[in-house]
């Protein structure tokens, strides 16, 4: 990558450089590869670093969902329906401190005045929480079979984010949903990526009438109110399809959503780079078209493409969430952020069971993290900002 | 200018025609056709429908003709007679079902646009003049949050707080005593009193984006020489700002009204659904879920019409603001 170091062109004359450590730093700066320069610049953007850390956290959850979640996503705790989040205690009823956290058994009783179910902690019976506890069996990534979970209880139950109407653990479901939602985003992104690259490439490479037609087509697509259209398309999927097939189709639909922006970018870059001196030089030196595209053109706008991808990722996630939220997207037993939020659709749910609401936090945090990272990468990829 | 207007108008008509084809395709997509639906209806009323009846029905409705002929019938019925077909779910003509609700959707979209720009322009100016002040930081943070949160989730969050904190719901567009009442001045005032909530929810994302655009352009412009020159001549500060940099900064903002409207229309059905607004949104969702295709198709067509009309208007507005565009130059 060193040969396409664009910053070399704008470097001041080395004769004016100061001596000693400063010079060494300067040498390091001027001999750094393009991606090294980007990383240095990216590191200065504090919000982007926080965003990267958060995204790493989400990816970690998505990768090890089975192990990290205390229960299997479909397992029910029949006597704890719509259960509130349980609290971890370190200090027991007598005021004694325990290093091992524990939670209390819960008793439910009807309030004689309001007729609402009142749940109280039964402080006489602590349920200690253990690491690497034996629980529901699972096969991670369909391969590694185990029944150990990162944390959990041996007696009683532990629902840190409460349970839903069937008594399923929301934390565990949220972890599994993270995997689904992120995968959909990534796969959808790849589809957009290839469409954008190919269509934008054709548009920019051939130019002229083909370019005109493709550009008008893109303008047309962008003037469609996308979400309603996608809702209509999703609603047209046959009802008797299996959830897996719907999952697959929705992912492809979402992939068709985001390519226009990228196609424009690729086209614009190709059109302007075609005439650059280094391309002309390569052509005069006898390089083939393939070599020019692969060796010279692609690397010089790859960074822009990566930035665009990171910016359009949130739209994928949000589109999936919106579609599933209203019941047009993924269907049970597939769990995603959107399907989880279906339970929090109405006022009653919000007022009585506010813990059903936690997936919202996941969605917002992940989308914000992506915007931060996207911002940081955009600044870093711009060779003219120092 | 006239030439430009005619040109833009023709493009708009072509766009509309293309969009209507797409809408027609989504109507045709679900398995089964209108004859199957009718048969199902008739059977549920205890009548027997034979294979011959089905074929006869298909012929009567013209379903045995090729798709472009059917498209042509469908679109001419809409354009010439205002006939959008029949809603399967409600057993009524689609045009009747939509009626008043369309007006509310348009009103909501317009209110959101006004809200978006009414907030974004002054806040953007403030953010740029008092860069790195407390207010600027607050605006930036709200901006990030607003752009990251899809409008339907914002609606959920708002509902959550209104229920948990204020113990009263923000849903709906009318107070209960006006919901079924005929239109009157007090009803309209009541509507305005409710309208700001969905407008806020729908507009926040756009507002955040426009604030950032306004701020960025203002920051570029405010240190330019012509501003210094005007200041040296002794113009009062606020007059100077409004007269020079703000006018320049308004351009990129005006050019995005079309996009803004597309985003608002796209987000509106979900927000209306969450906040239980009596406009086309909940109707659209129910029609989609029931595969009530003529109804959902009509609403989709209406959304498309609104967006394209909005884009057209923003193009005209931009041409008024910037003479270069009128003569076919790109900015």
**Strand pairing class (A144-153; B86-87):** unpaired
CA B228 to chain centre: 41
Q: For residue B195, list its beta bridge partners.
A: none
pLDDT the model gives residue A66? 82
Instruction: Please state, in angstroms and rounded to a whole number, the distance separating the CA atoms of residues A26 and B183.
Output: 74
Cβ-based neighbour number of residue A72 at 10 Å: 19
Q: How many CB pairs under 8 A join A and B?
A: 114
Testing the interface with A: which of B26, B31, B306 to mutate, by most A Cβ within 10 A?
B26
pLDDT the model gives residue B209? 82
Mean pLDDT of A108-113: 68
Residue among A225, A321, A372 minimizing CB distance to B266: A225
Smallest CA–CA distance, residue A283 to chain B, in Å, is 31
- Asked if the Cβ–Cβ distance from B26 to A236 is below 8 Å, we say yes
- Asked if the Cβ–Cβ distance from B291 to A235 is below 8 Å, we say yes
Contacts for B156 with CB less than 8 Å, ≥ 6 apart: A341, A344, A350, A357, A360, B274
Could you give the residue ranges of the DSSP H alpha helices within A45-131? 46-63, 65-68
DSSP class per residue in B18-45: HHHHHHHHHHH-SSS-HHHHHHHHHHHT
pLDDT band at B245 (very low <50, low <70, confident <90, very high): confident
Rama region for B151: left / alpha / beta (φ>0; ψ in -120 to 50; rest): alpha
Which chain A residues are closer than 8 Å to B285 by Cβ? 231, 326
Smallest CA–CA distance, residue A88 to chain B, in Å, is 24
Q: What pTM, to 2 d.p., does this model score?
A: 0.75
In chain A, which residue's Cα lies nearest the Cα of B154?
Answer: A360
Structure confidence by residue, pLDDT tens digits, A231-289: 888 777 777 788 888 888 888 888 877 788 788 888 888 877 877 888 888 889 988 87
- Asked if the Cβ–Cβ distance from A225 to B307 is below 8 Å, we say yes
Least confident of B25-39, B205-219, B231-245: B25-39
- Which tops the pLDDT comparison, B118 or B307? B118
Least confident of A50-64, A106-120, A293-307, B225-239: A106-120
Testing the interface with A: which of B16, B105, B266 to mutate, by most A Cβ within 10 A?
B266
A310 contacts A369 by C-beta, under 8 angstroms: no
Which chain B residues are closer than 8 Å to A358 by Cβ? none
Mean pLDDT of A160-165: 80
- Asked if the Cβ–Cβ distance from B153 to A350 is below 8 Å, we say no
For the stretch B96-127, what's the b/e string if a residue is b when 16 or more beta carbons lie within 10 angstroms of its beta carbon? Answer: ebbeebbebbebbbbbbbebbbebbbebbbbb
Block residue for tokens 């507005």: B317
What stretches of B184-226 adopt beta strand conformation (E)? none
The percentage of chain A sitting over the pLDDT mark of 90, rounded to a whole number, equals: 0
- Asked if the Cβ–Cβ distance from B148 to A371 is below 8 Å, we say yes
- Asked if the Cβ–Cβ distance from A235 to B308 is below 8 Å, we say no
Instruction: Please state, in angstroms and rounded to a whole number, the distance separating the CA atoms of residues A171 and A85.
Output: 10
Structure confidence by residue, pLDDT tens digits, A74-99: 777 777 777 777 777 777 777 777 77
Which chain B residues are closer than 8 Å to A344 by Cβ? 156
pLDDT the model gives residue A6? 47
DSSP A165: T
- Asked if the Cβ–Cβ distance from A314 to B148 is below 8 Å, we say yes
pLDDT the model gives residue B324? 66
Q: Is the pLDDT of residue A317 over 60?
A: yes
DSSP A65: H
Mean pLDDT in chain B? Answer: 80
pLDDT the model gives residue B331? 38
ipTM: 0.73
Residue among A220, A232, A322 minimizing CB distance to B15: A220
In chain A, which residue's Cα lies nearest the Cα of B144?
Answer: A368
Question: Torsions phi, psi of B48, nearest 5?
Answer: -95, 135
Which chain B residues are closer than 8 Å to A233 by Cβ? 26, 29
Which chain A residues are closer than 8 Å to B169 by Cβ? 347
Q: Is the pLDDT of residue B327 over 60?
A: no
- Asked if the Cβ–Cβ distance from A322 to B270 is below 8 Å, we say yes
For the stretch B217-235, what's the b/e string if a residue is b when 16 or more beta carbons lie within 10 angstroms of its beta carbon? Answer: bbbebbeeeebeebeeeee
Smallest CA–CA distance, residue B241 to chain A, in Å, is 28
Element spanning A365, H or E: helix A358-381
Which chain A residues are closer than 8 Å to B153 by Cβ? 321, 341, 360, 363-364
Residue among B163, B258, B285 minimizing CB distance to A351: B163
DSSP class per residue in B102-153: HHHHHHHHHHHHHHHHHHHHHHHHHHHHTTTSHHHHHHHHHHHHHHHS-HHH
């Amino acid at each position: 990558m060193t040969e396409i170091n664009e910053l070399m062109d704008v470097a001041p004359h080395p004769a004016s450089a100061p001596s000693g450590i400063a010079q060494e730093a300067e040498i390091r700066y001027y001999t750094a590869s393009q991606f090294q320069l980007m990383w240095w610049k990216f590191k200065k953007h504090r919000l982007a670093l926080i965003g990267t850390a958060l995204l790493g956290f989400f990816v970690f959850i998505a990768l090890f969902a089975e192990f990290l979640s205390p229960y299997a996503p479909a397992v029910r705790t029949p006597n704890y329906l719509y259960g509130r989040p349980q609290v971890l205690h370190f200090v027991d009823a007598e005021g004694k401190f325990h290093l091992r956290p524990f939670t209390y058994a819960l008793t439910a009783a009807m309030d004689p005045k309001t007729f609402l179910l009142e749940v109280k902690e039964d402080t006489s019976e602590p349920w200690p929480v253990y690491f690497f506890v034996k629980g529901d069996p699972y096969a991670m990534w369909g391969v590694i079979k185990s029944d150990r979970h990162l944390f959990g209880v041996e007696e009683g139950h532990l629902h840190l984010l409460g349970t839903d109407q069937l008594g399923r653990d929301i934390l565990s479901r949220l972890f599994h949903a993270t995997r689904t939602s992120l995968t959909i985003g990534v796969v959808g992104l790849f589809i957009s990526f290839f469409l954008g690259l190919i269509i934008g490439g054709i548009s920019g490479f051939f130019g002229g009438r083909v370019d005109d037609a493709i550009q008008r087509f893109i303008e047309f697509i962008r003037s469609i109110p996308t979400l309603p259209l996608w809702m209509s398309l999703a609603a047209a999927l046959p009802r008797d399809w299996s959830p897996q097939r719907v999952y697959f189709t929705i992912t492809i639909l979402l992939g068709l959503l985001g390519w226009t922006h990228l196609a424009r970018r690729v086209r614009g870059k190709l059109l302007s780079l075609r005439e650059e001196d280094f391309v002309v030089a390569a052509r005069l030196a006898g390089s083939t078209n393939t070599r020019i595209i692969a060796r010279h053109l692609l690397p010089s706008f790859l960074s822009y493409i990566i930035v665009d991808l990171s910016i359009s990722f949130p739209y994928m996630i949000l589109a999936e969430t919106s579609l599933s939220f209203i019941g047009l997207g993924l269907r049970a037993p597939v769990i995603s952020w959107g399907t989880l939020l279906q339970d929090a659709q109405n006022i009653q749910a919000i007022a009585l069971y506010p813990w059903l609401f936690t997936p919202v936090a996941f969605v917002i945090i992940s989308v914000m993290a992506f915007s931060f990272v996207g911002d940081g990468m955009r600044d870093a990829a711009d060779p003219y900002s120092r | 200018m006239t030439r430009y207007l005619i040109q833009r108008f023709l493009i708009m008509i072509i766009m509309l025609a293309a969009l209507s084809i797409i809408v027609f395709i989504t109507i045709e997509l679900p398995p089964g056709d209108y004859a199957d639906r009718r048969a199902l209806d008739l059977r549920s009323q205890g009548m027997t429908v034979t294979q011959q009846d089905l074929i006869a029905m298909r012929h009567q409705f013209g379903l045995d003709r090729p798709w472009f002929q059917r498209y042509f019938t469908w679109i001419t019925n809409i354009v010439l007679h205002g006939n959008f077909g029949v809603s399967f779910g409600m057993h009524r003509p689609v045009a009747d079902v939509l009626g008043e609700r369309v007006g509310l959707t348009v009103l909501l979209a317009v209110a959101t646009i006004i809200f978006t720009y009414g907030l974004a322009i002054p806040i953007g100016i403030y953010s740029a003049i008092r860069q790195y002040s407390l207010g600027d930081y607050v605006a930036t943070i709200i901006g990030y949050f607003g752009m990251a949160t899809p409008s339907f989730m914002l609606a959920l969050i708002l509902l959550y707080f209104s229920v948990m904190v204020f113990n009263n719901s923000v849903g709906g567009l009318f107070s209960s005593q006006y919901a079924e009442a005929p239109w009157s001045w007090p009803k309209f005032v009541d509507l305005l009193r409710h309208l700001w909530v969905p407008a806020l929810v729908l507009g926040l994302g756009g507002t955040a984006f426009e604030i950032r655009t306004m701020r960025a352009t203002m920051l570029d412009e405010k240190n330019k020489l012509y501003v210094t020159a005007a200041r040296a001549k002794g113009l009062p500060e606020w007059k100077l700002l409004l007269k020079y940099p703000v006018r320049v900064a308004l351009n990129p903002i005006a050019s995005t009204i079309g996009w803004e409207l597309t985003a608002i229309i796209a987000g509106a059905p979900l927000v209306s659904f969450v906040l239980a607004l009596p406009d086309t949104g909940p109707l659209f969702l129910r029609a989609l879920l029931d595969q009530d295709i003529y109804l959902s198709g009509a609403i989709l067509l209406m959304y498309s019409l609104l967006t394209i009309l909005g884009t057209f208007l923003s193009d005209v507005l931009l041409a008024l603001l910037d003479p270069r565009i009128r003569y076919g130059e790109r900015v």
